[in-house]
Chains A and B, each alone.
Chain A
Amino acid sequence: QVQLQQWGAGLLKPSETLSLTCTVFGGSLSGYYWTWIRQPPGKGLEWIGEINHRGTTNYNPSLKSRVTLSIDTSKTQFSLSLSSVTAADTAVYYCARGGARPLDSWGQGTLVTVSS
């Protein structure tokens, strides 16, 4: 059973760059898209984007100008970078396996707070 473990800074100042990494245990990155989703406090789920093992990406148009996804197959890791954060980017961020397939495995979530 694949497991996803994510980590990254939990407190940022406005204009800084959010960086999160997700490590995949128990499986390779091949054959799947790897996805980032976020959830502002008390609100619903927002799809951020996805990347496959070849580095092919799809982004949410509302975030595309600030988001970069990357992947390191040798470390079975994939990462999210979100630039120029504001308070509106405060959310729990999740990584997950799937994309064109169902999101069947999720990381534990990371609360990222943007505050001056």
Chain B
Amino acid sequence: DIQMTQSPSSLSASVGDRVTITCQASQGLDKYLNWFQQKPGRAPKLLISDASKLEAGVPSRFSGSGFGTDFTFIISSLEPEDIATYYCQQYDRPPRTFGQGTHVEI
């Protein structure tokens, strides 16, 4: 199984800050990595697929990069509505494992 190591597990930032989350895979994934946002009581929402492809309707302050084993998710300027937990997930092969999540708070 591919293990996904996501860090940090939580962070506190101010409105306008740049926020960076990393995800490291135990094996190479090519580009097959998703980033999700989850707010309390809600299903996760897909923000980025293929490591860097922004989904339709997702604000451009969100971005992703990386290939192989090392991936990065960035919020370029944190907004109050970005308070949530963010998860990476590999979909290169089953079991399609998730990272542990990063709780972002202000």
Asked if A108 and B55 make an inter-chain contact with CB atoms under 8 angstroms apart, the answer reads no
**Min CB distance, B34 to chain A, in Å?**
5
**Min CB distance, A66 to chain B, in Å?**
15
Majority secondary structure of chain B interface residues (helix, strand, loop or mixed):
loop
Asked if B89 and A103 make an inter-chain contact with CB atoms under 8 angstroms apart, the answer reads yes
Asked if A99 and B98 make an inter-chain contact with CB atoms under 8 angstroms apart, the answer reads no
Chain A residues within an 8 Å CB radius of B94? 47, 49-50, 58-59, 99
Considering only residues 63-116 of chain A, those with a C-beta below 8 Å from chain B are: 94, 96, 98-104, 106-109
**Does A46 belong to the interface (CB within 8 Å)?**
yes
Interface size class of A (residues with CB under 8 A): 20 to 34
> Can you offer 30 A-B residue contacts whose CB atoms are under 8 A?
A37-B98, A44-B99, A44-B100, A44-B101, A45-B87, A45-B89, A46-B98, A47-B94, A47-B97, A49-B94, A49-B95, A58-B95, A59-B94, A61-B1, A96-B43, A99-B94, A99-B96, A100-B91, A101-B91, A102-B46, A103-B34, A103-B36, A103-B44, A103-B46, A103-B89, A103-B91, A104-B46, A107-B43, A108-B43, A109-B43
Could you list 10 further interchain pairs (A-B, Cβ under 8 angstroms) beyond the known A47-B89, A104-B46, A108-B43?
Answer: A37-B98, A45-B36, A47-B96, A49-B94, A49-B95, A59-B95, A61-B1, A94-B43, A103-B91, A109-B43
Chain B interface (Cβ within 8 Å of chain A)?
1, 34, 36, 38, 43-46, 49-50, 55, 87, 89, 91, 94-101
